[in-house]
Every structure is written in C-alpha cells, then in structure tokens.
Amino acid sequence: MIRHAARKARVLFTVWFAHMLVYRAEIIIWMLSGSIPLIMMAVWIGKASSSGGSVGGFTAATFAAYFLAVWLTNQCIVAWAAWELDRLVREGLLSPRLLRPLDPIWNELAAHVTEKVLRIPLMIAILFVGVHLVPGTQLTPDIPHVLAYTVCVGFAFGIRFLLSYCTGLLSFWTTQATAIDELYYVVAGFLTGAFAPLSLYPASVRAVIDWLPFPYIVYYPVQVLNGNLAGGGILRVLAVQALWLSVLILIRGMLWRRGLRQYGAVGA
C-alpha cells in the first residue's frame, strides 16, 4: 500500500518535473510579474528615508527584509489549481481523469510542488540582489528560523492550494471559477500583508484580519523567517495553520463529493 503510494508520488513528480522544464521560460515570467511586494518595498523605503529614517519602528533595512520575505513567500505559495480544474471541466478533460483510480488532487499537488522546485534558482538570485541592494538587510537571524519557516511556508502553501482547489471545484456549477479565484489576488494585497506589515494596521482592522486564513498564508511565515517570533509564537502560528488546513480539507472533501454528484447528473 505504502509502496504503491510512494511509487505513484515518485512517478508523478518525475513526469511533472519534465513537464515544467518545458515551461521554464513561462515560470520565470510569472515569477518576475509578481513584483508588487518589491514595489511596496521601494515605496516604504522612500517613506522611511523621507521621515527621518524610520516609520512605525521599521527602517529601510527592516522594510527590505520584510518585503523580500513577502516576495519569497508569495513565490512559494503560488497556486493555479482553480484555473486548471476550470480548464479540465470546460474542455471535458476531467472525464478521462475520473476514470483513473486516483483522486485528481494528487496529480495537481504534484504539479504544483515540482513547479516550486524550478523556482528556487531565481528565488535565490533575486533575494541575493535584494539583500545587497539595501545596506544592513538581514533576512533571517539563524538557521533554526529558516527551518521553522520552511515548515510554515509548506503549511501556507497547503492553505493557498486548497483555497484555490476548492474554488476550482466550483467549476462543477459555474464557469466563473477562475474569476472567483482571482479575487484572492485582489484581496491578498491588504489581507496577507503584501501592501504593508500588518503591525502598521489600525488595531481594529488587525483584530478582524487575524480571524481569517490570509495572514497565515504570508504575514506570519514572514514573521517567522525575519526572526520576529520565537518558539511559542512559531508553534501558535503552526497550530492555527494546521487548523485552517483541516477546515479546508473537510470543505474540499464535501465539495468534491457534491461536485461529482453534480457532474454525474449533468455531465460535461
């Protein structure tokens, strides 16, 4: 059983890796087009230097560390599952997938994870340039924080992937799943902390946002990497992320079952 699962995982990863290599140029373009955190970095650094060196406790160097980490995290959590599911349903390609004895989500997950692997080289290059462009930028204090961040960003990717996947499952009922998923990018700017560090938000807004999954996709993993959270704080972030993951897994299961019933009733 486990042997079979491991084999399936291995084959899916190898094949998707070959597939993503074909699209390496596209991947680089997508990486470079996600430049909002870097634009915000410039704006906030400008603001800090014009108001005497710091804004709300942030200096040019801490802003750089924050927004570079936001950029990195955004790169790690990119998900297009909604777009893909929408395409599968629209082009009638879901039927062949449904005939296989493997839930299509695993295939999609393998595609997403392998794509991330190809992003690593450019990620490192841009972080390297960014850190050296602004003097005194310290992205992370030590290796343990990097390791904690790795787990955190893995969970964050899981949340974003499942959000996108669940939205994609709406394709069973509407052709607007991709458009609905794009709403994530619309709200992500201010809900995940890509526009500004959440600590600069008014407390009342902050109190509301913290109850949503969005800060746990970008803001909190960034705090872990930047070294603003220690042991207990990191564990709390992981716990909340795990909670959101379980909720989304339940929703995904429910949507999948209902979606299949709908697909079976109406077809495509």
Partner 1 sequence: MPVPLLTDSAMRTSENQLTSMTADPSITVTVRDLRKHYTVHEKEPGIRGSLRSFVRRNSRQVHAVDGVSFDLEAGEMVGFLGPNGAGKTTTLKMLAGLLHPSGGQVRIGPYTPKERRTGFLKLITLVMGQKQQLIWDLPAYDSFLVNQAIYEVPDDQFKATMHEFIETLELEQIVKKQVRKLSLGERMKCELAAAPLHRPRVLFLDEPTIGLDVNMQVRIREFVADYNRRYNATVMLTSHYMADVTALCNRIIVIDKGRIIFDGDLSRLVEQTAPAKIIRLQLSTPVTVEHLASYGHVHSFDGLNVELKVPRAETTRIAARLLAELPVADVTIEDPPIEEIIGQMFSQMRAEQRDQAAAGEPASVA
Partner 2 sequence: MRPRRYFRLIMLLAGASVSAQLEYRVNFLVNVASSILASGGALFGLSILFSDGQRVGGWTYREAIVVVGLFTLVEGFIATFLQPNLSRVSEAVRTGTMDFTLLKPIDSQFLVSAREVNIFRLSDILIGLGLMLWAVITLHSATPWGVALGIVLILAGLVIVYAIWFILTTTAFWFVNIENLTELFHGLFGAGQFPVTAFPGWTRIVFSFVVPVAFITTVPAEAFIGRADPARAVGAAAIALFLFFVARWFWKFAVRSYTSASS
Q: Is there binding between residue 91 and partner 2 (CB under 8 A)? A: yes
Q: Is 230 in the site for partner 2 (CB under 8 A)?
A: no
- Applying CB under 8 A, does 186 fall inside the site for partner 2? yes
Residue 107 neighbours by CB under 8 Å, 6+ apart? 12, 97
Which position among 10, 102, 121, 182 is part of the footprint of partner 2 (CB under 8 A)?
182
* Contact call for residue 95 and partner 2 (CB under 8 A): no
Binding residue for partner 2 (CB under 8 A) from 13, 190, 256, 263? 190
Q: Tell me which of partner 1, partner 2, none is bound by residue 25, counting a contact when its beta carbon lies within the kind-specific cut-off of 5 to 8 angstroms.
A: partner 2
Alpha carbon 196 to its chain centroid, in Å, reads 17
Binding to partner 2 by residue 79, rule CB under 8 A?
A: no
CA distance 158 to 252: 12
Residue 173 binds partner 2, judged by CB under 8 A:
yes
Of 1-9, 12-20, 30-38, 73-81, the window that binds partner 2 (rule: CB under 8 A) is 30-38
Cα gap 48→65, rounded to integer Å: 14
25 binds partner 1 (CB under 8 A): no
Among 1, 3, 4, 25, binds partner 2 (CB under 8 A): 25
Over the window 247 to 266, marking each residue x when it contacts partner 2 by CB under 8 A and - when it does not, the resulting string is: -------------------x
Q: Among 29, 98, 205, 254, which residue interacts with partner 1 (rule: CB under 8 A)?
A: 98
Point out which residues bind partner 1 (CB under 8 A): 4, 7-8, 10-12, 14-15, 18-19, 22-23, 92-93, 95-102, 260-261, 263-267
Point out which residues bind partner 2 (CB under 8 A): 25-26, 29-30, 32-36, 39, 42-47, 49-51, 55-56, 83, 86-87, 90-91, 173-176, 178-180, 182-183, 186-187, 189-190, 195-196, 200-202, 205, 266
